[in-house]
Amino acid sequence: MFKTLRYNSRCSQAYNFLYTHSFHRVRYIMAEASKGKNDSVHEQRQDPILAEEIEGTSKPEVSNKAFASKRTNAFAELMSAKKPKPSTKPATPSLKPAKRGFDARSGLGVYIEHPEKNPEGLVVEYDDDFVVVNDKFPKASVHLLLIPRNPDYYTQHPLSLLSSNGPFRAEVLKRVVRLKHLAASELRRKYGRCSASDAPYQAALGDLMSQDDPPTPSERDEKLPPGRDWLAEIKAGAHTHPSMNHMHIHVMSRDMHSPCMKHKKHYLSFNSSFFVEVDEFPLDERSDRFHPGEWPSWDMKCWRCGENYQNKFARLKEHLGEEFEAWKKE
């Protein structure tokens, strides 16, 4: 586990959790070879993200820092992790080499090398083996990336690695299960109060937490009705043609509601066979999933109702906004 969950019994807010954590400082040497500057025109056409995102020149239109709320939960506490305070010891002469930059397609390397510095405020949690960050350009209400820190792993293609390395796949699956629950908790925090099926849970939670002596988390969970199944709204997987060099797994809500979701390839990359979900592994080495072909030309179908919008992204985007409002109220 990355961090230990504790409960603050003095707080009367519904989701008031506190996380304690110790930062592990580990540095791995990055691979020298880089494909970013030598991508062919065909490869760029197959990228699920736009060139401006690869270059990092387009600023996200929504904040990826802590989700603001009067009611905090485990996810929100993780999202608001601060940069560790500097040591009080006198500074000693440093022989460290000058800071090394990363080319466009190796941008995830900064989170792998120095997660303790919380680059761009996007690091959620980390340990010696993995780092979890908020996607800089999220394509849904909740969008996390699980990135291995071992160069033996992060330099490999995700489909090949997850299909051929059983122990690594088992570790990824274990962590994905935990991250799915974390993401589901954040969805409940964001939309639970406007969800009809979550109303019994929200009402019972409010009653419990307004007591003079609120129950502990374990006691509370036993007393609360299940409410809406937010976990069913979370998916996890990898792209068949990743845009970034470092191997990573997406853990995200399926609503596709984000200002950063603004291109046909954005949508198709998460809502077609181009996206391989973690429970589909291992793949046969002869599987067609390794070779998606001209996937950007595929039709776009609404993830919720199945209506086919073919190549009309503007119409789909408008429709997704309507579906989102209905979905969060279910």
Place of tokens 């580990």: 26
How far does Cα 325 stand from its chain's mean position? Answer: 22
**HSE (side-chain half, CA atoms, 13 Å) at 277:** 13
For 193-229, give one letter per residue: b (16+ CB within 10 A) or e. eebeebeebbeebeeebeeeebbeeeebeeebeebbe
CB atoms within 10 A of CB 97: 6
Whether 145 contacts 252, CB under 8 Å: no
Pairing state between β 300-301 and 17-20: unpaired
Backbone angles phi, psi at 133, to 5 degrees: -130, 160
What residues act catalytically? 248
Distance (Å, whole) CA 226 – CA 198: 8
